[in-house]
Amino acid sequence: MRTAAPKIFGILGSNISYSLSPQIFRILFDKYDLPHGYFIFDHAEKDLPSFVGSVLTLGISAFNVTVPHKCDIMQYLDNLHRTAKDCRSVNLVVNRSGRLTGYNTDIFGIRKVFADAGVNNFSNLRTLIIGAGGTARTVLRFFQSKRAKDIFVINRGRKRLHDMLSEFALPTHGRRIAAYQKTRSNANLKDLEWDIVFNATPVATSKLLPKTAMQRKPLIFEAAYGNRIATVTNSRDVIGGIDMLLYQALRGFEIMTRCRIDDYKKEKAALKRRLRQSFA
Ligand SMILES: NC(=O)c1ccc[n+]([C@@H]2O[C@H](COP(=O)([O-])OP(=O)(O)OC[C@H]3O[C@@H](n4cnc5c(N)ncnc54)[C@H](OP(=O)(O)O)[C@@H]3O)[C@@H](O)[C@H]2O)c1
């Protein structure tokens, strides 16, 4: 019998009707016998102050944050959990008695996915991050914490790239961290080689990098889960964003509901099966 009081949860982003988060959380609420609701809150950046006001007025218990608000939301919060401070990016906000705390569970998802792929030691790995948004910040923090041999970052726009690099006060740890502006010809990329490419943009890697930038047959990580099946030439393997999405959701579910997940890998696999069934 259900004893918990119903709560309102959701995901904040802009143009996110494709989001799988409502399905994911409804599966989890059902499995853990919780009477909660999970909704899409689709708002542009200019609406963030009024959205945050509504969270407090309506008593929304927690909300995930996705593209493009992971950095902008931070200014409206009362506290940042250590994970969000470290990554300078928030993907979960919890409302505790009117005080809003930002968390980052994306880094948990990234850590789990690399561990599942058997990549644990980064000290000899040259890494490339494409993007300079909220997710790029999180993966940059992850590669730094893993003391990757090299971390390169490229981005379409100069401003966000420079903002990100100065926020992280790069270079650090004595590792070589260089930023490259993507040019139309990619001329400045062709002599570089990577072991891991983490694409933190909505666009498939095959459309962003020239074949010549894939000499070492890197392991490619596509954060955007729709890009898993995109053709990538010269890659060793492609890790899709779906597992990251499920892991970060499971960690978020624990924080939001205080339920405990005993075995993340098993729970992630079960969630994936249920999701597939719901689309069959
Ligand atoms: N699987 C998961 O769990 C998961 C988790 C987090 C994010 N994601 C995905 O990761 C992607 C990035 O999310 P985010 O929150 O970091 O978004 P964000 O903060 O808005 O950043 C988006 C980044 O993508 C770049 N970009 C956007 N459109 C582009 C284009 N047409 N060509 C080249 N670069 C482009 C932007 O460059 P500019 O600075 O030049 O605008 C920026 O660097 C999204 O697709 C999101 O769905 C997946």
pLDDT in tens, 229-250: 444 444 557 778 899 999 999 9
CB-based burial label for 231 (10 Å; 0-12, 13-18, 19+): exposed
pLDDT tens by residue, 125-151? 999 999 999 999 999 999 999 999 888
pLDDT tens by residue, 3-49? 789 999 999 999 999 999 999 999 999 999 999 999 999 999 999 99
Query: Active site includes 70?
Result: yes
Ligand 1 center–CA 4 separation, angstroms: 36
Report whether residue 105 contacts ligand 1, using a CB cutoff of 6 Å: no
Ligand 1 center–CA 89 separation, angstroms: 13
- Between strands 99-103 and 176-181, the pairing is unpaired
Report whether residue 160 contacts ligand 1, using a CB cutoff of 6 Å: yes
Same CATH topology for 8-104+243-279 and 108-239: the answer is: yes
Ligand 1 center–CA 259 separation, angstroms: 30
Distance CA 71, CA 101 (A): 14
**Model pTM score:** 0.92
Q: Which residue has the tokens 């200014």?
A: 75
Ligand 1 center–CA 201 separation, angstroms: 3
CATH numeric code, 8-104+243-279: 3.40.50.10860
Q: Which residue has the tokens 């072991």?
A: 195
| Contacting residues for 136 by C-beta, under 8 A, at least 6 apart | 129, 130, 153, 155, 164, 198, 200
Q: For helices 264-279 and 21-31, what crossing angle results, to 10°?
A: 120
pLDDT at 89: 97
Active-site residue (options: 7, 31, 46, 70):
70
Residue closest via CA to ligand 1's atom 21 equals 133
108-239: CATH topology is Rossmann fold (3.40.50)
pLDDT tens by residue, 51-76? 999 999 999 999 999 999 999 999 99
Report whether residue 101 contacts ligand 1, using a CB cutoff of 6 Å: no
Report domain extents, the chain: 8-104+243-279, 108-239
Ligand 1 center–CA 149 separation, angstroms: 24
Calculate mean pLDDT across residues 202-209.
86
In this structure, how many other beta carbons lie within 10 angstroms of the beta carbon of residue 73?
23
Note whether 123 and 149 are within 8 A (CB): yes
Residue 225 CA: nearest ligand 1 atom is 1
Report whether residue 157 contacts ligand 1, using a CB cutoff of 6 Å: yes
Kindly tell me if the per-residue pLDDT of 267 is higher than 80. Answer: yes
User: Residue 182 — very low, low, confident or very high, per pLDDT cuts 50/70/90?
Assistant: low
Q: For helices 264-279 and 241-257, what crossing angle results, to 10°?
A: 110
Distance CA 65, CA 13 (A): 6
Q: Which of 91, 130, 135 to mutate to test ligand 1, by most ligand atoms within 8 A of the CB atom? A: 135
